[in-house]
């Protein structure tokens, strides 16, 4: 691309000495984008919007928060009651965490369906998984800060998981706590790291976008850009599309902020933390529930390995396995749009994750959706089995055995064909 010519003398003077404006022009304005991207490609920009919203709202909350066990809960209540618009800032931040995970999960499921993890986009996929891990760490530490009952006991239970590791487990937990129980040192270090992690996520997002611009966007056909006719400039076509998607998303987001701000939270977190009173059912936030169900589904020993350690390993493996998906999928076709067999397994996997989330929210001895004889723990074990089988068995075998539909010769051909069919 040729260097842009600036009419504004100030812009030209700055750009001649530091070509950051030209870089932004090439990477955002002129960036060649496949012409057939659907609204499923909106979730990446939405995730960026929510991240900025979370950072800004978090900065304002920190101005009035006190990271001390004797004052943390009261400082949050003061934000809600006495600080001007403190209730709004907190509800935006609190529900923004859920919105962040919703758009990122949808972004990832879209990537799985359309094969966005396949070569040459493996590094792009890896950075995305690192962003997810950083988000989970940030959200967990942020959940501890209000210092309510679920904050305290959630921190106690989750950090205790590391004690399952032999030899290093107990010293590691003591190091995490900063003492011999979850107390003021724990709250202080979690507060410090919670403030730091969003900026690490922001750095990873920059790398993610850099990697994206190096290999370019995938598209619903999975066919690469071959000629200039296959692409259009990012602006104004996709900026307008993203702005429309953002408007729809804000209606959804504001619906929770103004009409159901506590719907996605837990009522026990409005009770001050009490180390002497254990809640009857300790559950994490909804976005951790599938992983919590995997952790809890391992209630048996194998070769003398304790169930607790197996559960922790299974929970970590459920995320680590995402890193090797590019090599587990043996199909030469990217998009599930042209994979008639795998498409159904994908949707079964989506249902499976919802079942895991449901199982994580319920007590192990409850009946699954009220079905007599079917315990939640059993359904969780079956769902965990399919979760790993989907990646380790279904992906390799179906990729070799299924006969995909014919791919279009180019992106332009698929667009013209869809237009003719419409």
User: Catalytic positions, please?
Assistant: 213, 217, 241-242, 285
Helix (H) or strand (E) holding 233: strand 231-233
For residue 237, what are its two tokens? 């076509």
Backbone angles phi, psi at 70, to 5 degrees: -85, -10
Nearest of 205, 37, 45, 203 to residue 124 by alpha carbon: 205
How many residues in the chain?
422
Q: How far apart are CA 272 and CA 285, in angstroms?
A: 18
- Note whether 217 and 41 are within 8 A (CB): yes
Q: Half-sphere exposure of residue 36, counting CA atoms within 13 Å on the CB side? A: 22
Q: How far apart are CA 93 and CA 257, in angstroms?
A: 9
- Note whether 294 and 318 are within 8 A (CB): yes
Helix ranges (DSSP H) in 260-375 = 289-297, 307-320, 325-328, 342-361
């Amino acid at each position: 691309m040729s260097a842009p010519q600036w009419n504004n003398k100030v812009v030209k003077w700055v750009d001649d000495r530091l070509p950051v404006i030209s870089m932004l022009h090439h990477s955002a304005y002129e960036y060649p984008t496949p012409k057939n991207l659907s609204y499923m490609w909106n979730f990446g920009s939405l995730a960026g919007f929510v991240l900025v919203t979370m950072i800004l709202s978090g900065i304002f909350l920190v101005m009035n928060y006190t990271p001390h066990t004797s004052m943390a809960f009261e400082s949050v209540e003061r934000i809600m009651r006495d600080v001007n618009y403190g209730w709004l800032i907190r509800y935006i931040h609190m529900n923004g965490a859920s919105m962040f995970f919703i758009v990122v999960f949808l972004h990832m499921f879209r990537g799985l369906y359309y094969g966005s993890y396949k070569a040459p986009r493996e590094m792009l996929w890896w950075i995305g998984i690192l962003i997810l891990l950083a988000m989970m760490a940030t959200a967990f530490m942020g959940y501890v800060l209000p210092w309510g009952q679920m904050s305290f006991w959630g921190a106690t239970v989750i950090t205790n998981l590391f004690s399952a590791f032999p030899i290093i487990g107990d010293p590691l937990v003591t190091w995490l706590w900063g003492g011999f129980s979850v107390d003021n040192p724990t709250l202080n270090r979690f507060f410090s790291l919670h403030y730091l992690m969003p900026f690490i996520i922001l750095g990873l997002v920059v790398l993610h976008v850099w990697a994206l611009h190096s290999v370019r966007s995938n598209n619903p056909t999975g066919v690469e850009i071959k000629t200039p006719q296959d692409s259009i400039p990012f602006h104004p076509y996709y900026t307008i599309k993203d702005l429309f998607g953002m408007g729809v998303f804000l209606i959804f987001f504001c619906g929770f902020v103004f009409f159901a701000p506590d719907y996605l939270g837990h009522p026990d977190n409005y009770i001050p933390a009490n180390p002497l009173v254990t809640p009857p059912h300790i559950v994490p936030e909804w976005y951790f529930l599938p992983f919590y169900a995997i952790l809890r589904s391992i209630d048996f020993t194998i070769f003398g390995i304790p169930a607790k350690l197996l559960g922790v390993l299974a929970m970590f493996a459920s995320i680590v396995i995402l890193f090797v998906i590019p090599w587990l999928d043996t199909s030469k076709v990217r998009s599930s749009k042209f994979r008639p067999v795998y498409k159904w397994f994908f949707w079964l996997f989506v249902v499976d994750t919802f079942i895991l989330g449901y199982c994580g929210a319920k007590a192990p001895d409850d009946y699954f959706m009220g079905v007599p004889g079917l315990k939640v723990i059993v359904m969780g074990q079956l769902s965990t089995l399919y979760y790993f089988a989907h990646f380790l068995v279904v992906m390799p075998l179906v990729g070799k055995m299924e006969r995909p539909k014919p791919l279009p010769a180019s992106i332009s051909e698929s667009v013209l064909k869809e237009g003719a069919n419409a």
